[in-house]
Chains A and B, each alone.
Chain A
């Protein structure tokens, strides 16, 4: 069965007819070719697919495209502003918070939410906030540092999403 949907993604409206069982992550990756959002598992465990839907970080492998009808979504591709990296993206680079880059989009989108909920988190709070995201490369050390530094750099500046 196909369903009509209309979703705002990174500021642009997309109208499509989708198979009712199509996952949101597949819609992003396969239909729209926004391949920055990754798939690392089939059990909602790794967080590689994390995006922002209506201001909340969600795992896009665990939501149907049809459920996102009418939603406003930000993916990793929509984070930089006119080519200027978001402070989180900057900090991940500065602190070497990524190696293979596969978990990175999900980590950054999760961090975005984390800093919105708690703009000045402690190290322990950051670690806790990353519980839903696996990284096999970095040992998390530099990811934690990157988020910490981004939060201090951003100060009271409003986080997007």
Chain B
């Protein structure tokens, strides 16, 4: 049987989704269930003088109403942060509590003030309107750099200057010197705007406490149910972890926004215990806008120095990262260890320094969003590269070739040690750009572009050659950097007596197709049929442990845990097979689902060995029955996918409207198990990256109102905004995991944004435009052209 690994096998999970039988949290109804509605602050910053719940309590169908005062009385701490970043001077970061319901003051529009529980969702929503809150309004600050100014309002009374931490990485002296002595310095000031994740499934949580058995169940839209169990049990509610079950069934997209442990999760569990009935909460889209963690929101100044030959000599970055009103679970590591550490890019830059300040503001908490930190780093680097090329009169592709780290496979050549802590695993950056240039037919495009210019049409091409750190991550390494958790993954391979295989994985699928990809691994490795494999995920009662899915880690880390489990199955199976075949283990070989005595026709099928393991009548002495292994895998390094994306755009001179004519992506994600699924991941990522470049961005007014908190106001790419994507790949295997896989979930988002913006800037080169702030709306593009025209006329 030919291996299914590497084939575009159609997804096994599709049927239930295609027939309306997916099971998402909001689809569930438990007996005697109640419904919660949460009163959200409409103000961004105000003291709570009084909360009157009398009318709400007496409204029809209301079961209970709780406020911040009840949470204080119950002595419940806030939701914790999972990553500690210290100040430069060694002090611990500021970690103000994020309570389940606030009692003292609200700190962003959407902060949770009270919860109403009722017999129906409608009754709960009606009653929540009846709660009267007296607020004393406070001054507001929404912008990161503004929060640092003298006299800025304090979000948390005990956090001076709103600074959560300051942080640096790299060699400051060497970098200052390199920039000072450079022949050319390209400088850009960036606003990497705040994005709202908007998974199409709104968040939902059902808390269910069963008094008779003293057990707690939480059904929640999470990417990492075990992480939620640990955080909620140990740090928020103080529950016995062994009596807590978290179920994350089908989840309708996450993109990072379903990683954090949210207040609503703990709140539903706590409320259920108070009223002794299940309680369900499902976000309305406007709540999603206000309370799903946002992404990005960096303001940076970056300078890149070059020598006269066009070689990069140094990179200096200064960033203010806006973390919002509270710390979300992984918010602190995103601007630091997922951003600062990526500033080497694909280049041999000998000196790099980043200085970063993370601040609190009166805005929604920020956390990982598809790419998380790496898009921000890539945006800086790739915008600088294209601008530098233009300033120095060099071709942007040439400039990259000149500065690429030479190829290394990580086996015969060592990994590449960057200036910013990471060691790249393997890479061939020239190859991937060469291939992308071929795909786009670069020379041909340049001649079309000049021709078009003579006709007054504005065509542009933009490059983005990126690297990202995935397969997150070696526990010891992240622990030394402040992670308060390990980042291994676990998988239990349970061979059933009939030879069918159930695999319980700690990774969580919310669109990634794990049920297919992981089945391919098992079927391929064991030589059995795909139908004989079942992948179980998303339930802490059945899956032994797991760290979940984010950072494009599921295949590289979770997949390796499965592979190692399969190895153990085959090792033990060989002992049983040897006994049954009356042969020595070393004389056996395993292929096509059976053990065969080499050079003979004596063989035993996998299924017969499985049955023997559970009916051990005629069985090797001293061997335990059963064929079931749990494996924990902790990687030795991150994985480093890379690639080259090229956008070709046309800008309408009269309206500023941008059309993406072509989008070409050549990625290297290491070995690929299911090309169809990998391409799908790339497509989705590219669309998200284009969304940031052209359409998306949260807008707060000065009073902290989120002005575009609905799908009517916040623009995301729709089908007719995008072209067909042209994708291809090179394959540079990851040297340190047995699959050679690197990860593909975030690549598109990381790469696409600067490619598109660079293309627009290239199109506007005749106007002398060097920068436009994202999103590049027609209005901004048009204004940029007008400004330059006006200036030229002066």
Contact = CB atoms under 8 A, between A and B. Distances in A.
A79 B719 contact: no
B253 interface: yes
Interface string B486-530: 000000000000000000000000111100000000000000000
Contact of B684 (A37, A41, A123, A136): A136
Contacts of A80: 19
A99 B688 CA distance: 14
Interface string B658-687: 000000000000000000110110011111
B731 interface: no
B122 interface: yes
Contacts of A135: 200, 719
Contacts of B720: 124, 127-128, 130-131
Given A96-B680, A101-B22, A136 B719 contact: no
A43 B288 CA distance: 13
Contacts, number: 179
Contacts of A96: 10-11, 676-677, 679-680
Interface in A87-137: 89, 92-94, 96, 98-105, 108, 123-124, 126-128, 130-131, 133-137
Contacts of A142: 680, 683
B252 A102 contact: yes
Nearest to A103: B200
Given A76-B19, A76-B20, A130-B718, A102 B10 contact: no
B712 A45 contact: yes
Interface size class on chain A is 35 or more
A30 B10 CA distance: 32
B29 interface: yes
A127 B719 contact: yes
A102 B511 CA distance: 9
Interface string B632-662: 0000000000000000000000000000000
Contact of A140 (B21, B24, B250, B719): B719
A35 B97 CA distance: 37
B253 A93 contact: no
A139 interface: yes
A36 interface: yes
Nearest to A104: B17
A136 B18 contact: no
A100 B251 contact: yes
Listed residue (B199, B202, B255, B710) with the most chain A CB atoms within 10 angstroms of its CB = B202
A79 B18 CA distance: 9
A101 B202 contact: no
Contacts of B15: 85, 93
Contact of B201 (A40, A85, A105): A40
Contact of B255 (A30, A34, A85, A136): A136
A35 B18 contact: no
Interface string A20-37: 010000000110011111
Given A42-B285, A98-B18, A136 B683 contact: no
Given A37-B20, A96-B680, A136 B199 contact: yes
Contacts of A19: 122
Contact of A136 (B29, B676, B688, B710): B688
Given A45-B710, A99-B253, A143-B719, A136 B200 contact: yes
B718 A100 contact: no
Contacts of B725: 139, 141
B284 interface: yes
A92 B14 contact: yes
B787 interface: no
Contacts of A85: 15, 18-19
B27 interface: yes
Contact of A35 (B27, B512, B688, B748): B27
| Contact-residue bracket for chain B | 35 or more
Given A76-B20, A101-B250, A137-B511, A123 B14 contact: no
B433 interface: no
A79 to B, nearest CB: 7
Nearest to A130: B719
A75 interface: yes
Contact of B719 (A37, A43, A144): A144
Given A43-B710, A131-B719, A138-B680, A89 B18 contact: yes
B19 A131 contact: no
Contacts of A149: none
Contacts of B14: 92-93, 98, 101
Contacts of B748: 139
A105 to B, nearest CB: 5
A104 B286 CA distance: 22
A144 B513 CA distance: 19
Most buried by A among B17, B199, B201, B716: B17
Contact of A75 (B20, B201, B718): B20
B513 to A, nearest CB: 7
Contacts of A139: 683-688, 717, 722, 725, 748
B200 A99 contact: no
Contact of A144 (B202, B284, B717, B724): B724
Interface of A: 19, 21, 29-30, 33-43, 45-46, 48, 75-77, 79-80, 85, 89, 92-94, 96, 98-105, 108, 123-124, 126-128, 130-131, 133-144
Interface of B: 10-11, 13-24, 26-27, 29, 122, 198-202, 250-253, 255, 284-286, 510-513, 676-677, 679-680, 683-688, 710-712, 716-720, 722, 724-725, 748
11 contacts: A30-B29, A37-B20, A40-B202, A42-B710, A46-B200, A93-B11, A93-B18, A100-B510, A101-B22, A131-B719, A139-B687
